[in-house]
Amino acid sequence: MKNESLDFFHQAFGQLAKTLPGAELPWLRTARRSAFEQFDALGLPTTRHEDWKYTNVSTIGKRLWHFRAQRTDDSDVRHVIGELVLDPGGHRLVFVNGRNVPRLSKLNGLPHGVFVGSLARALREMPQRLEAAIATQTHADGFAALNTAFLTDGFAVLLPPGEVIDQPLHMLFLTDEAGLAVQPFNVVRAGARSGCTIVEHFVGVGDDAYWTNAVTRIVADEQADVQHYRLQQEGSKAFHIASVAVAQQRASSFASHAFAFGGALSRTGIGTSLNAENAQATLNGLYIAGGRQHVDHHTRIDHAEPHGTSREYYRGVLDGAARGVFNGRVIVHRDAQKTDTHQANYNLLLSRDAEIDTKPQLEIYADDVKCTHGATVGQLDENQLFYLRARGVEERTARALLTYAFARDIVERVRIESLRGRLERLLLARTPEGERIRELL
């Protein structure tokens, strides 16, 4: 990164560090300072880094972002809340331009001892329960370090042992301010035998350029069950960088469902470590891009102990001059005998200029395992097209129908009915002849 860009980040950190939430906490001040020093050393990643070989983020480093929202009025986004909420009667936390807005949020009766709320509130009321999640984390790259340095708000879900939240928790992040760099930090700590379902939903309101740099940390203790959904619908000029890091204990279950539709450039990293026996992980994902969009997914599953099971299914649909990147890394460590893992990435290119770089990786250091992986890149099947055309379906409609069916395979894995319906509508809106397909279905 150029020196003038580093100077800008230094200036911004110096101006804001003393006014950020939790600035009165010595451990958080230390964590922020340490994170910024790591960012200073790392800078933002470049294409010379292997994990960022196909994703150039230099544009982010060149812009003069501001890290505090310049207005606090939420009237410009209030009108879209109704159409974005998954369940009007369900739980939700709404964040506008990086900060929680209680009057737009709604939490029904929660089990005793459960905390669901904004990170800023948790730092005021129970900072000791967040210290381990924030102060002891390691930063994989400059983006993660910068997030900790500037963390302002986000959500915190803290579940005592045995407590289960039946209704999904909808975490809605809205951004409509040009030039704003939003740094959400989210933490989920699920105690033994507890469970929850979380939907992280990022939406851009308007057509301005802004930057979301989100980090989510999840700990699933023994026999905990955490279902995690990400829906990225950022604005057409927005940048979206995100990382999800999960630590799993014995017989815990973690499922990730990641959907990427928006943004000019997006990069999502999802990693889980199966740190004890009989842990299970499922990673599903769908990315749809057109125009000149760039969408990148990097996943990592670490099997560290025996009898772990993981499944990973990602699909991509690319049109126009869009570019997709998928890197799925599964590591079976030496002690992880009896591991059962499968990974697949399928990609559909709808135009000559669309491009995908896919790299499934399987590293095995144990000898009693069951492991498979694979990837495909291609166009629509001509035999299937012929079958539909022979039955009177017009070619344009037939192509759209096959594209919709290809992507819907991932949508059907969603357990939340309202979210599944929302995704189907988004999918139809992004598919040519969507209205015609709706009639046929």
pLDDT tens digits, residue range 367-411? 999 999 999 999 998 899 888 889 888 898 999 999 999 999 999
- Measuring CA to CA, which residue among 79, 161, 159, 154 is closest to residue 122? 154
Positions of the chain with pLDDT under 50: 1-3
- 258: nearest Cα among 283, 291, 227, 295: 283
- Supply the pTM of this predicted model: 0.95
| Residue 4, pLDDT score | 53
Tokens of 125: 């009321």
Distance CA 372, CA 330 (A): 10
For the chain, the structural domain boundaries read 3-276, 382-441
What H or E segment, with its residue span, contains residue 117? strand 115-118
Strands of the sheet with 309-318, listed across from one edge = 99-100, 91-96, 169-175, 195-204, 225-233, 253-260, 280-289, 309-318, 340-349, 370-378
Q: pLDDT (tens digit, 9 = 90+) per residue, 306-331?
A: 999 999 999 999 999 999 999 999 99
- Between helices 26-42 and 3-16, what is the axis angle to 10°? 170
What confidence score (pLDDT) does residue 435 get?
Answer: 78
Q: How far apart are the first and last CA of the chain?
A: 51
8 A C-beta contact, residue 219 and residue 191: no
Over residues 242-261, the pLDDT tens digits come to 999 999 999 999 999 999 99
Spacing of C-alpha 228 from chain mean position: 9
d(CA 411, CA 421) in angstroms, rounded, equals: 9
Question: What pLDDT score does 3 carry?
Answer: 47
Spatial contact of 240 and 209, defined as CB atoms under 8 Å apart = no
Question: What pLDDT does residue 434 have?
Answer: 77
Asked if residues 147 and 213 have their Cβ atoms less than 8 Å apart, the reply is yes
Q: Residue 340 class from Cβ within 10 Å (0-12 exposed, 13-18 middle, 19+ buried)?
A: middle
Rounded distance, CA 222 to CA 193, Å? Answer: 6
